[in-house]
Amino acid sequence: MEEQRWGPVWFIPGQNKGRYPYCHSLYIEGAGILIDPASDRERLIQLRKEHGVNAVWLSHWHEDHLMHLDLFDDLPLWISEKDTPAISSVETFLDCYGIEYHGYRKYWRQLLEEEFHFKPRKPTKFLQGGQTIDLSTVTVEVISTPGHTPGNLAFFFREPKVLFMGDYDLAKFGPWYGDRYSSIEETIDSINLLRKIPANVFLAGHETGIFRGNPGKRWDDYLNVIFDRENRLLQFLNQPRTMEEIVEACIVYGRPREPKAFFELGERGLMKKHLERLTKAEKVFQEGNKYIKNAAIQKGKLIPNPTTTDHK
């Protein structure tokens, strides 16, 4: 994958095609703004040396978007106010992921410090949805896109009509909404908002990365992952199941994977969000430590398609 440019907006591809633990970064020439510094460490060092970096912006607080933030400790950092607590300390970071088990916290603490170079940071300024920022070389519209994280942001570069969607990446895995403060409903709303932006180029934080023209059906496929997960969970709840049984069913990842501290955490986080949503809709009930599908739901009935109905 090669670097691409649209006027002053540079797409800096991440290692391994931007797959976790890497992401694609953006660089705004002239203003010297670097967005999500977790692409390629050596390239980012070179970028600062040859072109200059004046400030770093984060689309959200996740570790795979701040891996190389330590290279820019001396520079201003901008992030949304709602995502600020997570980067204030390792322990708060783990709390925001909802990591409770001591063994898993130990694993993640070591991972963050050794692989992601995590250091507590205090932002210099808050980015806010609805804000328009004139960087002289380009005008940036800051778009609030909560769901993935509470303060998740997208950026629309007005003159070249380039949209950076961050982790709404249209990958086959589907959306992530498994953090303590994530939201399925807000994720759906944010995706539907982004698909309407009049961009000529849509940039994502991972994998494919660059979509020339509106991605079209990719939006529907991406949204439908949410509903497919939910339907499979409902089918599994034809009989009472504990949370541990639900996690062991591997509805998200398909099979048990290692390290367990990573994949089991993700499976649990995503399933927990679906259970909360289904319980609120009275499609699932909890009896003691077990969950079961509401008998009033017609057998085999699917969750409405997100492209044709209201999903709240």
**Residue in this structure with the two tokens 């004046």, named with its chain if needed:** 54
Closest CA to 188 of 153, 146, 159, 157: 146
- The pLDDT assigned to 310 comes to 34
Could you tell me where the beta strands, DSSP code E, fall in the chain? Answer: 4-6, 9-12, 25-28, 33-35, 55-57, 77-80, 125-127, 132-134, 139-144, 153-157, 162-164, 201-203, 210-212, 241-242, 284-287, 290-293
Which amino acid, one-letter code, is at 160?
A: P
Regions of the chain with pLDDT less than 50: 298, 300, 302-312
Superfamily for 4-215? Ribonuclease Z/Hydroxyacylglutathione hydrolase-like (3.60.15.10)
In order of 11, 20, 254, 289, the CA distances from 248 in angstroms are: 39, 23, 10, 15
- The pLDDT assigned to 308 comes to 35
- The pLDDT assigned to 295 comes to 82
* Helical residues (DSSP H) of the chain, grouped into ranges: 41-51, 90-97, 102-114, 184-194, 217-236, 243-248, 260-280
**Residue 58 to residue 42: CA distance in whole angstroms:** 19
Sign of the Cα torsion 297, 299, 303, 308 reads negative
pLDDT tens column, 48-75:
999 999 999 999 999 999 999 999 999 9
Tokens matching residue 306: 């997100």
- The pLDDT assigned to 296 comes to 73
Domain residue ranges of the chain, discontinuous segments joined by +: 4-215, 227-291
Question: What is the model's pTM?
Answer: 0.92
**Residue 276 to residue 86: CA distance in whole angstroms:** 23
Q: Any idea what the Cα angle at residue 215 is, between residues 213 and 220, rounded to 5°? A: 155
pLDDT tens column, 84-99:
999 999 999 999 999 9
